[in-house]
Structure formats: C-alpha cells, structure tokens
Amino acid sequence: MKDLAVIGGGSWGTALAIVLAPRFERVRLWVYEQDLAERMRSSRRNDVYLPDSALPENIEVLSDLQASAAEAEVVLGVMPSHHARKLYAQLVPVLHPDMLFVSATKGLENGSLARITEVMHEEIAPRFTPRVGVLSGPTFAKEVARGEPAAIVIASQDADLAKTVQVAFSGPTLRLYTNSDPVGVEIGASLKNVIAIAAGVCAGLGLGANTMAALITRGLAEITRLAVAAGGEGRTMAGLAGLGDLVLTCNGELSRNRTVGFQLGQGRKLEEILGGMRMVAEGVQTTYAAMDLSARLGVELPITRQMHAILREGKSPREGLRDLMDRSLKEE
C-alpha cells in the first residue's frame, strides 16, 4: 500500500505517522491547529505534542481535512473521541468504498455511548458500508516515535482488512497481531483509562504495590464484565488491548490519565488539572460514559463508580478508596 492518511496531529497521531512513514510512499497528517501545521511544515517537528521526534520527509502536514484523506488507501483516525463524529461527517464527501478505515481513538462517545467504530459506521454507511478496524495496545507515543519496539492489535470482523493492515503497518519496531473482536478491543481501550486515573489517585495518596496490584486486577475484572455485556469476548481482555494496555497505563509515568489521578490524589481540583493540560485525558469523559453504559447494560463497575463520584461529585479520593474497601464481601 502506498498512501496513508492520519487524521489527528496530537502525540499519538504524530507518532503513528512517524513510525508508519517507512511503510508508505506518502503519508498525509491532518493537524487541526493551522498555526501548528505551518510550524510542522517548516521545522519538521510537532513542537506542542511530540517535540523531540523529527518528521520523515514523506510526511505531508495538512490543515485541510478533506484534502488530507482524498484518494488515500488507508484512513487512520486518531482524533479525540468527542471530535470523531464531526470529523467523519466532514470527511464523507471524499471517502470511497475501496478505502480501509482504522480507528486508533480510545474512548466512547458521550450521550450516544457509541464506540468510535459505531460512530464511523453511522456517519459513512448512508453513502457506503465502510471496512473498519480498530488499532490498540500498550503504547506511549513518545516511545513509539523514538523507535522503541512495541506490539499492538488490529481488530476487525473483516479478516482480510485485519491481515492487510497487519502487513502494511508492521515493521522493525512495530509488530501487529490480528484480532476478531473489535468490540472487546474498543471497550478495553476506553475503560483502561478510567482505571489508570484510579491508579494515579492511589499513587498520589502514597499507596504502594499491594494496592496497585489489587486495583489493576479488579479493574481488569470490571472491564471484562462490561466488554462481554457489550458483545465482546472475555479472552480479549487477557491480551495486548486488555491487560497489556491496562498495566502500561496504570504504571507508566507518561500516562496522561494516571497523571490526572495522581494530582487528584495530591489534593488538586479536576478543573485546575485539566486547565493546565494541552493533551486530552480521555479517561475523564470515558468515566461518565462508562457509568451510563453500565446502567444500560446492567453491569456493576465499582472502581468506575468511585472515580465518577470523585471526578463529577467532588468526593475525596480517600473517601472513595474507603468505600471501595467497605463494599460487601463476595467471591472473586
């Protein structure tokens, strides 16, 4: 394959463009901020989101959304979840049935509670039925852009798409595994950010390895319950897009969601924390959507419930932890 469009010039979109550039003749990277796009074209660096990594010469930085995707063979969406519907709707006029669509966005749409691939289908399907896959796994953008080895998943019910993307994207530093459970992969990718905020809260409170191990294990259990209730497969949560991504995001200091939680545990207010961040911490909005989805599906999410109370209702982190420990006793 020769032509890749990357829609979203944040840290992850930029990192993917960099690592995939050797695999394609042409990579078009759409950047929302026009001034940033202009600087990237001249300096060949994303000075806001990924300043330490140079852009290969075959990456073309654009701020015209439709021009970024027109005639591409693969459209890789890496926008924040709350912008996904609007951007795909704007892209529809230049899309065509021969394109492959890959979503690397981690989150659920608030209000509809739709997974991002569902959003894509809703916006594109009136014109044609899109071939869609999900890209996810334990990755920090900075490390991927530096060329450090990483493994991720391409999930789709379209086996030919998954195999095609696997071959096209895999290289010396990025290894893709195929997966047939996009529902489980998307739920895992979304909910791990909620648990990562909780992990940050524990770290901010000064708690140690015992607490973190319990949180990750029980967090994985509730992610699995929600994924299965939504139509996914429990075994997916034992893989890269489940346990792998959860462990990374809960323990890695580069995790934005963990950072939000850490500062909450240190006593800072959510509005103050988010006001000082340029990059999106998807877990905050996902917490709200996850609680609504759990109510719709009848699934208990105790950690997510306490995070919802801390984030939206102003509950203190110590009180949230106490209420988790005081829940009625049960079998594992």
Task: Provide the residue-wise pLDDT of the chain in tens; the chain has 332 residues.
Answer: 899 999 999 999 999 999 999 999 999 999 999 999 999 999 999 999 999 999 999 999 999 999 999 999 999 999 999 999 999 999 999 999 999 999 999 999 999 999 999 999 999 999 999 999 999 999 999 999 999 999 999 999 999 999 999 999 999 999 999 999 999 999 999 999 999 999 999 999 999 999 999 999 999 999 999 999 999 999 999 999 999 999 999 999 899 999 999 999 999 999 999 888 877 678 899 999 999 999 999 999 999 999 999 999 999 999 999 999 998 888 88
CA atoms within 13 A on the CB side of 53: 25
Query: Which residue in the list 86, 106, 142, 192 is annotated as catalytic?
Result: 192
Known active-site residue 192: yes
Sequence-ordered strand ranges (E) for 50-130: 50-54, 59-62, 74-77, 100-103
Query: What pTM value is reported for the model?
Result: 0.95
Please give the DSSP secondary-structure letter assigned to residue 243: I
Dihedral, CA of residue 155, residue 160, residue 166 and residue 168, to nearest 10 = -140
Q: What is the C-alpha separation between 159 and 152, in angstroms, rounded?
A: 16
**Strands 3-7 and 74-77: what pairing?**
parallel
Which residue is associated with the tokens 């300096």? Answer: 43
Q: Which among 102, 113, 110, 114 is positioned nearest to 72, based on CA atoms?
A: 102
Q: Which among 167, 165, 103 is positioned nearest to 134, based on CA atoms?
A: 103
**What stretches of 100-244 show up as alpha helix (H) in DSSP?**
116-124, 141-145, 159-169, 182-204, 209-229
